[in-house]
Structure 1
Amino acid sequence: MRKLFLSHTTECVLIAVIIAMSIFLAFATDRFFTLGNAFDLLNISAVNIIFAVGLLVVLIAGGIDISFAVAASIVQYLTVLALERIGGGGWTSGFLIAAGIGIALGLINAFLIHRFRIISIVATIATFNVYFGLLMFFTKGVSLYNLPDWLTSRVVIYEREMADGSWAEITLPVVVMVVCTLATWLFITRTTTGRQLYAFGDNPDGARRFGINIGAMQFIAFGWLGLMAGIAGLMQAHYAQEVVPNALYGRELDVLAAVVLGGARLGGGKGSVLGCVLGVLLVSITQNGLNLMGVSPFAFKMIVGAIILVAITLSSARIGALAPVFGGRISADGQPAASGEKR
């Protein structure tokens, strides 16, 4: 038991904090500890967890991407327009189109980082603004409400009537989230490529010497996040039953805070799917509890900012560790490597 705790310290601490917070909120508000609220938390958290497991892969590989939420917004728009062109389509065509567009947007980030050796956070800040600017320019901020019937029809996996006559429901996004989570876990823990991503994020130079294809690692990591962003975008459209251009704007910081809270190391080489999911749930429970207690939503933003600040401060990786291979080389003294230095 001691060995299990030591090897999963972050996850165990998160579980303890979630239990403690849930007990506190159960006494603080009578609406928190209900089946309906628990199911609502799962339904609301599903999209963020899909985002999070995709971002986890990028963080493990030593990069940072903050453009994925805006990319998901683009996926929503283009997918709905494409479905309209083909007469409505269905779930299969919807998933294929959304996944394809999401992967393409992720690969654009990987190309910029690999080809031009731009630090990943700088590259994705740029694409974040480019993606959002293009989206708002071409859509003029107009929302889409005329979605295919199959996309707006609620798919209830499990439901139960409550004492007050309301219904507690588990909907399709939760099932999709479980599949994405399981797929990511299998990918990073049970495949050679997944182990290479950990090695690459932990020691890029050593990974190169062992023959790991650096470019492939970058494209795989950002492509996987693009895939998850595409799926999450489709699920968001299904859940909201509309496509709003800026609905996901700002979601990237909440997800980043949750993933680093779950134990993913800024600088790469560390992170688990379980910790990632627990991090998202803790952030969601915090937001839900504050809302039920009538606390200003700005307090939640302060908490998210504090989480990111603490994670960066306590990270064992130097800021310079965000740059090697995912951008220009930075030497031990924090200065750019000499142009003649071997890469």
Structure 2
Amino acid sequence: MSKTMEPDLQSPLGGTQNEAAGQEWRHPSDNWLRGFILDNRAALGTLAVFIVMMAVFMIANPTVFTTWYLYSSVLTTLPVALFVVVPLVFVVTCGEIDLSFPATMGFASWVFALVVQAGYDPFLGIAAAIATGTLLGFLVGSLVVYGGLSSLIATLGMNFLLRGLIQIINEGKSTALTSLADSWAYKIFSSQLYGIPVQIFWAIAFVVLSALLYNRHRFGAQVRVVGDNPDSAQQMGIDVKRVRVKVFVFVGIGAAIAGTFSVMINFTWWPTAGDGYLLPVLASVFVGGTPTWGGIGTVVGGAIGAVTVSFIQTGVVAAGLSGFYVQFFNGLIIILSLLGHKWNQARYR
């Protein structure tokens, strides 16, 4: 004879008496919000740092920071950094580092400049630049993965090698590309729409697609597993070497796009193209909440980190301080952000 189960009675809080006796009832939206905050705590922490920093700058000089011109100037050059920061999140998550991207930017943009200077369509130049970046990324990745070299040393060496090659062939001479202003490529990729630089929309699309690739695609999951434990990834059937090469190829593609955009912004290719992005881009990755030990990272956080770093120099000067303070604030923001992210990581706690 089966025992009759006594039905749960509805509690005044909206749950059953059994639930109310065990724990406090929570609205489903509370659980969703809590999960969202926990899953994105690194990016939200970076956003908080950015908001506080902008508030300080706003108080220091409200006149400058309430004018659109300042933000327009930052949005013009910010996409160049974003195209490199986002792929570097994949590399660092995979447990590697890539210091060759500045020279890859210069080399790929040089190929773009040569194609345009020869009279060909700029779209063909863009395709040639991306192909060059892909090839250089594969070369760097092969040196690290199949050559067994340290990614730090190998990529640093490639950075010097490629930059030296550029300087030797061009003898330090730049290339003016004034014809770009009348091309469809410039109008599509580097003009303005209602006063907003068009390139920022392309950069945002790149960040969104990369975030989906990192969080929702098999490749992103493989990158995280490889960065966390390569041996376990191998036992799970993941081709660890292929994944590691792919992240370097992705950096090469991003660096090529960044270099091409920088040329279209200035209508000039310089042999030093990309040189000034090494430290700001690396700072953006780590300020954004991607730790150095691999296995975890945040694409959105890296993008917010790039915005933060981009506004530091502009904000310091606009606030009325000397340019000598820029490096000080760069270091201060980086150290405070890293300390905050270290405490905020689940592993650390």
Alignment partners' CA distance in 1, 2:122 and 2:280 = 31
Q: Distance in 2 between matches of 1:189 and 1:141?
A: 42
> What RMSD, in angstroms, separates the aligned Cα atoms of the two structures?
2.3
The letter of the residue matching 2:77 is I
Contact 1:28 1:293 in 2 (8 A): yes
Tell whether the 8 Å contact from 1:266 to 1:315 is kept in structure 2 after alignment: no
Deviation at 1:20, TM superposition (A): 2.0
The equivalent residue for 1:184 is 210
Pairwise CA distance, 1:307:
5.9
Once the two structures are TM-superposed, the CA of residue 46 in structure 1 deviates from its matched residue by 1.1
Within 5 Å, which residues of 2 pair with 1:124-135? 124-135=155-166
Residue in structure 2 matching 1:58, options 91, 98, 101: 91
Superposition pairs of residues 4-23 of structure 1, within 5 angstroms: 4-23=36-55
Letter in 2 for 1:27: I
- In structure 2, the partner of 1:120 is 151
- Check whether the contact 2:102–2:273 (CA below 8 A) recurs between aligned residues: no
- Note the 1:276-295 alignment, pairs <5 A: 276-295=302-321
Equivalent residue for 1:341? none
Report SS of the residue matched to 1:195. Answer: helix
Among 225, 242, 262, the residue aligned to 1:216 = 242
Q: Structure 1 residues 148 and 111 mapped into 2: Cα distance closer, same or farther (>3 Å)?
A: farther
What is the deviation of 1:38? Answer: 2.0
State TM-score, norm by structure 2: 0.81
Distance 1:75 1:313 in 2: 36
- Map of 1:245 onto structure 2: 271
CA distance in 2, matches of 1:259, 1:4: 21
Query: Which whole-Å CA distance do the structure 1 matches of 2:338 and 2:165 have between them?
Result: 31
Q: Is the 8 A contact 1:72 1:229 kept in 2?
A: yes
Taking structure 1 as reference, are residues 69 and 307 closer, same or farther at Cα in structure 2, changes over 3 Å only?
farther
Shift in alpha-carbon separation, 1:309–1:123, aligned structure 2, 3 A: farther
1:269 to 283, 295, 304: 295
Pick from 62, 67, 79: which aligns with 1:46? Answer: 79
TM-score (norm 1): 0.82
What secondary structure does 2:212 align onto? Answer: helix
Number of matched pairs: 305
- Deviation of residue 185 (structure 1)? 1.4
CA contact (8 A) 1:180 1:228 kept: no
For the 8 Å contact 2:83–2:258, the answer to whether it is kept is yes
Contact 1:46 1:177 in 2 (8 A): yes
Which blocks of at least 5 consecutive residues in structure 1 are unaligned? 160-168, 317-343
Between 1:4-13 and 1:64-73, the stretch displaced more is 4-13
Give the Å deviation of 1:152: 6.0
What's the offset of the Cα at 1:301? 2.9
Where 2:66 maps in the other structure, the secondary structure is: coil
The Cα of 1:214 is off from its aligned counterpart by 1.7
- Compute the displacement of 1:94 (Å): 2.7
Question: Given the alignment, which residue of 182, 202, 207 partners 2:228?
Answer: 202
| Deviations 1:278-310 (CA, angstroms, capped at 9, x unpaired) | 111111121210121243434323444566667
Provide the identity percentage.
Answer: 26
* Matches for 1:167-178 after TM superposition, within 5 Å: 169-178=195-204
Tell me which amino acid in the other structure corresponds to 2:102.
Answer: A
Aligned ranges for residues 74-85 of structure 1 at < 5 Å? 74-85=107-118
Equivalent residue for 1:71?
104
